[in-house]
Structure 1
Amino acid sequence: MDSERNVPTGILGFPVAPFNEKDELDEQALYKNISFLISNGLESIFIGCGAGEFHAISEDEYETMIDIAHEATQSQVPIYTGVGGNIRTAVRQAELSEKKGVDGYLILPPYLVEGTHQGNVEYISQVAQSTQLNSIVYQRNNVLLTKESLQQLVTIPQVVGFKDGVGDMERNIQLTQAVGDRLQWMNGMPMAEVTMPAYIPLGFEGYSSAISNYIPHISRLFYDSLLHGDKETVTDIYRDVILPINDIRKQRPGYAVALIKAGMEIVGLPVRNTVRPPLTPVESSHYKELEAVINVAFDKYSLQTK
C-alpha cells in the first residue's frame, strides 16, 4: 500500500446521529459522542455512515455532522465520511467531503437496485476517482465483489481499503488471497466482535465496533485479548457481554442502529432512544435486557480508557 494512503486499523468509531425532541440533529450530543470515542482510544471516526443513519439525514445535516467531527477530533484521528445512494449523490458527497478536508470516505452501496459485477465496479470507480481522497469499498447487501472485480478496483490509487459486511468467508478468502496487502481489510459485520476471530487470520486488522459508543472498555479489552491470545478473557466477554447483546440485536430489524442509541442513553450519554423511520426505537423489554448486560459489563470488567 502507498505509504501516503494509510487507512485506519484497530477499533473504528462510528458515531450515531442524535436527534432532539423536535427530531432535529442534536449537535451537542454528537460532539459528546465523538469526544467520548476519542477519549476512549478509538483510532478513527467514520461520520454519517450506517450507525449515523445515512439513509435518513438531510444534506444540511450531513454537512453539519462533518463540521462537528472536525471540531470534536481536533485532528487527533482521521475522519472518514459515508457516501452512497444514487451515483450523482454519492459523487456530490465525495466532493463535499474533499472540500471539508476529511481523510477519506466509505463508499456505501447504491440503494433499490442490484447491479451487475461490472456495474458495481463502475459505480465504485466513479465515486473513488471523483476526488483524491482515500476510498474504502464496502461489500454489503447488493454489492458483492468477485476477485476479478476487486482486481479492477485496486488499479485505482484512491481505493485503499475494503470493508466486509456480508460474512461470506469463502469469498473473503478468495479476495484477500487475490489482492493481499494492497488493501487494508476491515470487518464491518453487525456486532463485529462476534466474528472478529474468524477475520484476523485473513489479514483484517480493523473493525467497526457498535458497542464502543457506550462500553468502549469492553471493545478494547476484547480486541486486545483476542490479539494476544487470551482465550479465557475472550470467552468470558463473549458469554457475559457480546453474545447477550447480539441476541438482543437480532430481535428486531434495525436494532443494529437503535440498540446503539439505547445503550448510550443507558450509560448517561445525551442520546435519546429515538431513530428516524423506517427504523424504530428499542422496545421496553429489550431495553431492560440491554441495561442488565451493560451493568455486568461495568460490574465485572474494570473500566479501562486510553
Structure 2
Amino acid sequence: MQVQNQFKGTGVAVITPFTKENAIDFPALGKVIEFLISNRVEYLVLLGTTGETPVLSTSEKTEILQYSYEKIAGRVPVVVGIGGNDTMHLLEDFKLLPLEKAAAVLSAAPYYNKPSQEGIFQHYKMVAESSPKPTILYNVPGRTGRNMSAGTTLRLANEVPNIIGIKEASGDMAQCMQILRDRPEGFLVLSGDDALALPQMACGMEGVISVAANAFPLEFGDMVRACLTNNFKEAKAINDKLIPTYDLMFAENNPAGVKAFMYKMGLINNQLRLPNVPLSHPVFSAIEAWMANNR
C-alpha cells in the first residue's frame, strides 16, 4: 500500500491544551486524543499551527510527541508538523524531534520571508531530501504571506520523490482544480479549508486536514466519508449543519475558535498562549448559543 493512502479521509490538526498556568495540559491532551480516535478520525496531525507550535519550545514539542505516541499506541497514523522560515534551522528539527513513530511530516511553506516561487521550490526540495519521513506540502498563504503556485506544487510533485502530497489551503478553487488535473499519479491532494472541503472533494481531493474536526470529529468525518463514496447529498446535509461553526471558529483567530467549542464540551481549558487570546465575549456568546441549540 502506498504510504499516502493512510491520509485519505479526515486528519485532525490537533490543538495543544494548556493549564490555567499556561503549561501543557497533558491529561487534557490525552482526553482529546481519545475523543478523536473514538470518533473515527483517520489520522492525527501533531504540532501543526493549530497546535500553537510557534509558542512551543523544542523540549515541549518533544514531550507532546512522546506523550501522544504513547496514548495513540499505533491505533491511527500520525503526521508531525515541521515547518519554518529558516530552512537550515528546520533541518535541525528533523534531528531533534522524535519522528520514529510518525508516518509523515507536514511542512508549511516559509512565512514572512515571502520567497520567490524558485525559493519555495528550493526550500521544499532541501526539506524533503533531508526528511526521514515522507513529506506533505502545506500551502497556506493567509498565514505565510506568499502563495505557492500550482506550477511550483506540480514541479515539486514531479521532481522530488519524497514529496507525497499537499495540504492546499489557498482557498483558490481554480488553483486547486489545476493541481488536481495535472498532478502525477498517486500524489495526494488534501483540503486545508474546512468550509471548502465539500466542493474541493467534489473536484477530486482525497480528504481534509481539519481544524473543525477537533470539536466535531464524527460529524465532520461522516461528511468526508460521504464525499469519498460520492454521496454528496448526505455530505451536503451534514455540512449545512456545520457551516455556522466554521464561521464562528475562524471569526477572530485559530485556534481560539475551536478551543472555545472544546471548552464548552468539557474537553479543555479556554486557554491560549500569547500573542493569541481567547475569543471576545460576543463571539464566545454566539458559540454558547449555537451549542445550546444544536447539542
TM-score by structure 2 length?
0.89
Unaligned runs of 5+ in 1: 299-306
2:290 matched to 1:290? no
Q: Which amino acid aligns with 1:35?
A: E
Native 8 Å contact 1:69 1:79 kept in 2: no
The separation in 2 between residues aligned to 1:27 and 1:250, in whole angstroms, is: 25
Q: Which residue of 1 aligns with 2:174?
A: 170
2:74 matched to 1:70? no
Native 8 Å contact 2:14 2:45 kept in 1: yes
Q: Which structure 2 residues correspond to residues 213-252 of structure 1 after superposition, within 5 A?
A: 213-227=214-228, 233-240=234-241, 242-252=242-252
RMSD of aligned Cα (Å): 2.2
Q: Which amino acid aligns with 2:92?
A: R
Native 8 Å contact 1:97 1:104 kept in 2: no
State the 1:151 CA deviation.
2.1
Unaligned runs of 5+ in 2: none
> CA 1:171 to 1:152, structure 2 compared with 1: closer, same or farther past 3 Å?
same
State the 1:259 CA deviation.
1.1
Q: Which residue of 1 aligns with 2:258?
A: 260
Q: Secondary structure at the match of 1:137?
A: strand
The separation in 1 between residues aligned to 2:79 and 2:274, in whole angstroms, is: 25
Q: Which residue of 1 aligns with 2:94?
A: 94
Q: Which residue of 2 aligns with 1:9?
A: 8
Runs of 4+ aligned structure 1 residues displaced above 6 Å come to none
The separation in 2 between residues aligned to 1:198 and 1:40, in whole angstroms, is: 23
The separation in 2 between residues aligned to 1:230 and 1:176, in whole angstroms, is: 20
Q: Which amino acid aligns with 1:219?
A: F
Q: Which amino acid aligns with 2:167?
A: K
The separation in 1 between residues aligned to 2:162 and 2:83, in whole angstroms, is: 16
The separation in 1 between residues aligned to 2:230 and 2:153, in whole angstroms, is: 35
The separation in 1 between residues aligned to 2:186 and 2:81, in whole angstroms, is: 22
Q: Which residue of 1 aligns with 2:209?
A: 208
Q: Which residue of 2 aligns with 1:144?
A: 148
> CA 1:261 to 1:175, structure 2 compared with 1: closer, same or farther past 3 Å?
same
Structure 1 window deviating more from structure 2 (62-71 vs 174-183): it is: 174-183
Q: Which residue of 2 aligns with 1:18?
A: 17
State the 1:41 CA deviation.
0.8
User: Percent of aligned positions with the same letter in both sequences?
Assistant: 23
Q: Which structure 2 residues correspond to residues 44-55 of structure 1 after superposition, within 5 A?
A: 44-55=43-54
The C-alpha deviation readout for 1:174-228, integer Å capped at 9, x for no partner, is: 2222214331110011xx1x21222113321110222222222321333344445
Native 8 Å contact 1:117 1:146 kept in 2: no
Equivalent residue pairs, number: 290
Q: Which residue of 2 aligns with 1:301?
A: none
State the 1:250 CA deviation.
4.3
The separation in 2 between residues aligned to 1:54 and 1:275, in whole angstroms, is: 12
The separation in 1 between residues aligned to 2:246 and 2:235, in whole angstroms, is: 15
Q: Secondary structure at the match of 1:125?
A: helix
> CA 1:4 to 1:92, structure 2 compared with 1: closer, same or farther past 3 Å?
same
TM-score by structure 1 length?
0.86
State the 1:282 CA deviation.
1.4
Q: Secondary structure at the match of 2:159?
A: coil
State the 1:120 CA deviation.
0.1
Q: 2:160 aligns with which of 156, 177, 180?
A: 156
Q: Which amino acid aligns with 1:76?
A: R
Q: Which amino acid aligns with 2:46?
A: I
Q: Secondary structure at the match of 2:276?
A: coil
Native 8 Å contact 1:66 1:100 kept in 2: no
> CA 1:152 to 1:100, structure 2 compared with 1: closer, same or farther past 3 Å?
closer
Q: Secondary structure at the match of 1:51?
A: helix
The separation in 2 between residues aligned to 1:228 and 1:295, in whole angstroms, is: 32
> CA 1:27 to 1:13, structure 2 compared with 1: closer, same or farther past 3 Å?
same
Q: Which residue of 2 aligns with 1:304?
A: none
Q: 1:275 aligns with which of 254, 265, 272?
A: 272
Q: Secondary structure at the match of 1:181?
A: coil
The separation in 1 between residues aligned to 2:255 and 2:71, in whole angstroms, is: 22
Q: Which amino acid aligns with 1:211?
A: A
